[in-house]
Amino acid sequence: MRIIAGVSVLDNRVVQSRRWSVTQAVGTLEHVLRALDRYEVDEIVVNNIRREAVEVKTSLLASIRAAEVFTPLSLGGGIRRLEDFDHYYQASPERVFFTSALMNQNEELLEYACSVIGQQGMIAFLPFKAHQHGALFFNPSINQFEPLPPASQRLIRTYFDEVVFYNTEAEGELSTISAITSAVASIAPYRSDQNGFIYAGGIRPDILDALPQIADGVIIENALLYQEEPLKMRQLTGSEIV
């Protein structure tokens, strides 16, 4: 199971978000990326929360370049037009993720992005919350949760490699193993065997050892910065180090 670091960025500051609400400023993107690179996570997902301003995206890209990280980087947040995608693509991310384009079935954008970066570089990023009839998914362009549009399943299969299911209600919290497995079960109807599956929400480094193989990868949101956790080192040397 891949260990992915999730980083939320607001106005070039890395912020902590809890239950889908920004609460704390943590540090600068450049330094946080360098730290996560040192911790040897498998991948870093950088989510730009301030979706609209182009100058913010420019400073974000400058920070990414300055950090000079070697860890594969996924980038997204606010890609609603072809030029938004082009802008992010300048940072040479391994992968780019989309939410609004999928929720609003902007097939022109998805087709274009897929033709440029390739399907292996396309991630569907689906923030969700549990609902009595399954789950509701966040649509950033209307700032609301809504049912997943029926056409989205076809778009995911056609254009995307992996899907991130991001549990907004557990974001930034410390979930139990049973809460995580139950949340994973609640999104089972929305998953497809054709796409890789990444789960996020409430996962902290200290439960990784006990966490069963629930997905192809898990995202740890900012929590890697709470503790000294050189993850790769731990995986290589085993948790019982003398």
Residues that bind other proteins (CB under 8 A): 13, 15-16, 22-28, 31-32, 34-35, 38-40, 174, 223, 225-228, 230, 233-234, 237, 241
Q: Please state the closest distance from residue 106 (CB atom) to other proteins, in A.
A: 30
Residue 197: CA count within 13 A, CB half-sphere:
14
| Dist. CA 236–CA 42, nearest whole Å | 13
The smaller minimum CB distance to other proteins, of residues 149 and 230, is found at: 230
Helix residue ranges, H only, the chain: 29-38, 54-67, 82-89, 100-103, 107-117, 152-159, 177-186, 231-237
The smaller minimum CB distance to other proteins, of residues 142 and 174, is found at: 174
The smaller minimum CB distance to other proteins, of residues 58 and 194, is found at: 58
Q: Please state the closest distance from residue 17 (CB atom) to other proteins, in A.
A: 10
The encoded tokens of residue 182 equal 């139950």
The smaller minimum CB distance to other proteins, of residues 55 and 193, is found at: 55
The smaller minimum CB distance to other proteins, of residues 51 and 80, is found at: 51
Contacts of 109 (CB under 8 A, 6+ apart): 79, 80, 81, 82, 85, 98, 101
Q: Please state the closest distance from residue 194 (CB atom) to other proteins, in A.
A: 37
Q: Please state the closest distance from residue 16 (CB atom) to other proteins, in A.
A: 8
Q: Is the dihedral of CA 86, 88, 90, 93 positive or negative?
A: negative
Q: Please state the closest distance from residue 7 (CB atom) to other proteins, in A.
A: 12
Contact 62, 90 (CB under 8 A): no
Q: Please state the closest distance from residue 137 (CB atom) to other proteins, in A.
A: 24
The smaller minimum CB distance to other proteins, of residues 40 and 169, is found at: 40
| Dist. CA 205–CA 220, nearest whole Å | 7
Phi, psi of 95 (to 5 degrees): -145, 155
